[in-house]
Amino acid sequence: MSVFIHGGQILGPNGVERADVLVTGSSIVGTGLDLPVPGNARHIDAAGCYVMPGLVDLHAHLREPGTEEAETIETGARGAALGGYTAVVAMPNTTPTIDSPSLVRDVLAIAEGALCEVVPAAAMTVGREGQLLTPMGELARMGVRIFTDDGRGVQDPALMRSIMEYATGLEAITGGAPVVLAQHCEIEALSAGGHMHEGEWSTRLGIGGQPSESETLMMLRDIALARRTGAHIHFQHVSTGEGVEIIRQAKADGVKVTAEVTTHHFTLTDEACSSYDPVFKVHPPLRTAADVDAIRAGLADGTIDCIATDHAPHEPHTKEFPFDQAPPGMLGLESALALALTELDLPIERVSELMSSNPAAIAGIGDRHGNPVEAGQRANLVVVDAESEWTIRGTAMASRSHNTPYEGRTVKGKVRFTVLDGELTVDDGVATR
């Protein structure tokens, strides 16, 4: 079976160029003009669209096992495909925690046939309790490359040092492939009792605050430990301007550090919480306009490596609780690309780096995702009309939950087709199954 994508602008090895793409089986077999197209090929009209490497999300909560009423691997992967993703890293803060080889195997088995590749991350500590290391060696041997206690950071610095020392030794098992420690930076002794950013708005609203230092002090600690151990530390959902500056400095000093920011941390501020609507409650919290500006600068200058979603579905009734009792988290997979295209004044090549090639490299799946559109690459692609406008609606999403903070917002950038291993997962804006 062949797919012929014609009339679009491809993101190829030499940047943006006008070219058609021929896919046969699971590979791109040709790009250019006047390609020899097999008679039975499916023709896709990509006029006015970019044909880009499929997106990769380093940070999605698919909720399976344990909270399938909020999301399943199947529904999360369908939303991901609709958002232009061909791979997502599934967070291990499920019930039970994904902290053993058997649970990783279960997730991989459930994910077979899903509309995107699901890459399980495993916890760094058993049950994410911050006490005992998980069997990281065994997990690495079966292919796990990202370890994280996401939802919590590892509080004990001595344990974090041991995890880093252990992780650096694992490269003997992985054949040199990097093992990445993804940290949710939050010193719980500082954030305890807080439900939003600590600042002017938390004071006015009478809601307990989480200070920026609860993020930045853990970053400083982990940079010091990464410098000592040589481990690769990846900072998840960086929310503060100070954090961006810390990463900039650490990179300049040669520390092995990478970082992601979420869509909501570059589009929303703590002022949104003045509605008392828990749809705006998230960890780390929405911060100030100055933080948003610093994050945008970090995305532009290369300090920040990736845009991640932190897609965090929650059942509708739980987001009806009072602000201090509602669970933190927001949907992200189906709106992230459009928000990046609408809100960031970045060239499409940089958006693609941030949402595809950089996260693919960090997740260790760069052999099959995030590569330039050219012959010989795996056909993991997205066709996006960057100018087409649409309105975000939670109930229109494939997710089992509806907690988007962007309800009613009009954005530009519509995913028209997504191709996973040569097969259409999204066909003219509709999921294929």
Supply the residues annotated as catalytic: 310
Please state the closest distance from residue 401 (CB atom) to ligand DOR, in A: 10
The region of 14-22, 132-140, 324-332, 412-420 touching ligand DOR under the rule CB under 6 A is: 324-332
**Contact call for residue 58 and ligand DOR (CB under 6 A):** no
Q: Which residues contact 109 (CB under 8 A, 6 or more apart)?
A: none
In this chain, which of 61, 195, 256, 402 binds ligand DOR, going by CB under 6 A? 61
Size of the site for ligand DOR (CB under 6 A): 11
Please state the closest distance from residue 118 (CB atom) to ligand DOR, in A: 16
The region of 50-58, 110-118, 196-204, 326-334 touching ligand DOR under the rule CB under 6 A is: 326-334
Strand 146-148's sheet: what is its strand order? 146-148, 180-183, 232-235, 257-262, 306-308
Nearer to ligand DOR, 61 or 400 (CB): 61
DSSP letters for 282-293: -SSPP--HHHHH
Q: DSSP code of 152?
A: S
Residue given tokens 């030794």 in the structure block? 169
Question: 284: cis peptide before it, omega within 30°?
Answer: yes
Contacts with ligand DOR in 301-320 (CB under 6 A)?
312
In this chain, which of 316, 328, 366, 429 binds ligand DOR, going by CB under 6 A? 328
Cross-strand partners of 270: none
Q: Are 239 and 287 in contact (CB under 8 A)?
A: yes
**Contact call for residue 283 and ligand DOR (CB under 6 A):** yes
Please state the closest distance from residue 202 (CB atom) to ligand DOR, in A: 16
3-state secondary structure of 404: coil
The region of 49-57, 325-333, 358-366, 378-386 touching ligand DOR under the rule CB under 6 A is: 325-333
The region of 5-13, 135-143, 216-224, 321-329 touching ligand DOR under the rule CB under 6 A is: 321-329
**Contact call for residue 93 and ligand DOR (CB under 6 A):** yes
Please state the closest distance from residue 51 (CB atom) to ligand DOR, in A: 33
| Rg of the chain (C-alpha set) | 21
Please state the closest distance from residue 399 (CB atom) to ligand DOR, in A: 13
Q: At what angle do helices 157-169 and 213-229 cross, to 10 degrees?
A: 40
Residues 148-187: x where in contact with ligand DOR by CB under 6 A, - otherwise, as a string: --xx--------------------------------x---
* The three-state (H, E, C) secondary structure of 24-79, written as one string: ECCEEEEEECCCCCCCCCEEEECCCCEEEECEEEEEECCCCCCCCCCCCHHHHHHH
Please state the closest distance from residue 295 (CB atom) to ligand DOR, in A: 16
- φ/ψ bin of 84: left (φ > 0), alpha (ψ from -120 to 50), beta (otherwise): left
Contact positions vs ligand DOR (CB under 6 A): 61, 93, 150-151, 184, 282-283, 312, 327-329
